[in-house]
Amino acid sequence: MSSLSLSQGPLQIFFNQFEHFTYDPQRSASEEIGRLRASGLWESVYGEDDSDALYDAYRDALTKEFNERYGKDENDLSAWHVLCARIGLNPIPGTLEECRELVTNTHVNLVDLVHVHATEGTVEKFSDVYKLSAYTIQTKKYFPRDNAHAGNLLKFLLRHILNPEQNVGHRVAAGKRKGGKRRRGGKKGPADVNDNN
């Protein structure tokens, strides 16, 4: 995990490629990509018809930013302690299993979680996955699905956002998952998402 400020990380590097765009790290990365898209300043780098490439590069940067701030290893207790602190969970549990269970039963937006790391604040908690889903859809603060740069920690945290009912009843007791692969929901296959699944 990095102690660099948000302005020195992968998101800053991503936004720096747009010469006449001034990235504001005090704003959400989702707001900033929207502002960049609306400005048209991205077209000189990606071409006016290739917004998919723009968003792919943004998603890579967002995922890498998460990895730098929180780590990639879902078995790293210190990473879970940082997560608990940024989510505002007190007292912070002493074991990996307790941390996993506490975080799993807490609903936060992962884009906000990346943002609060730099501001030393805590992230807004939602009472259930449906409220998290409504917030994520309203604010367009989606985290990338199946990004090649995602570590196991991030994959563990991802939720179904557009179909939140797929999360109901899939609580993980003490961080253990069913079905062989370690992922939320107990099913084998790709990780769950805080995106459009």
Residue 180 lies in a domain: no
In this structure, is residue 182 part of a structural domain? no
pLDDT tens readout for residues 14-46: 999 999 999 998 888 999 999 999 999 999 898
Tell whether 195 is covered by a domain.
Answer: no
pLDDT tens-digit map of 73-112: 999 999 999 999 999 999 999 999 999 999 999 999 999 9
Query: What is the value of pTM for the model shown?
Result: 0.79
Residues 6+ apart with CB under 8 A from 9: 2, 64, 65, 68, 69
CA distance 66 to 196: 19
CB atoms within 10 A of CB 179: 11
The answer to whether residue 100 sits within a structural domain is yes
pLDDT band for position 166 (cuts 50, 70, 90)? confident
Domain span at residue 31 reads 6-175
* Phi, psi (deg, nearest 5) at residue 107: -115, 110
For position 170, what pLDDT does the model report? 47
φ/ψ region of 192 (left if φ > 0, alpha if ψ in -120 to 50, else beta) reads: beta
Residue with tokens 């939320």: 184
Kindly report the number of other CB atoms within 10 A of residue 80's CB atom.
Answer: 28
Domain annotation covers residue 185: no
How many domains are there within the chain? 1
- Sorting pLDDT into bands at 50, 70 and 90, what band is 118? low
Q: What's the mean per-residue pLDDT of the chain?
A: 82
Instruction: Collapse the DSSP code of 103 into the 3-class scheme (helix H, G, I; strand E, B; otherwise coil) and give the result.
Output: helix
Query: Cα separation of 46 and 100, whole Å?
Result: 40
> In this model, does residue 144 exceed pLDDT 60?
yes
Q: Is 76 within a domain?
A: yes
Centre a 10 Å sphere on the Cβ of residue 117 and count the other Cβ atoms it contains.
24
Name residues whose C-beta falls within 8 Å of residue 122's C-beta, 6 or more positions apart in sequence: 85, 86, 87, 88, 116
Q: Which residue has the higher pLDDT, 118 or 74?
A: 74
Is pLDDT of 120 > 90?
Answer: no
Residue 197 within a domain: no
Q: How far apart are CA 37 and CA 53, in angstroms?
A: 12
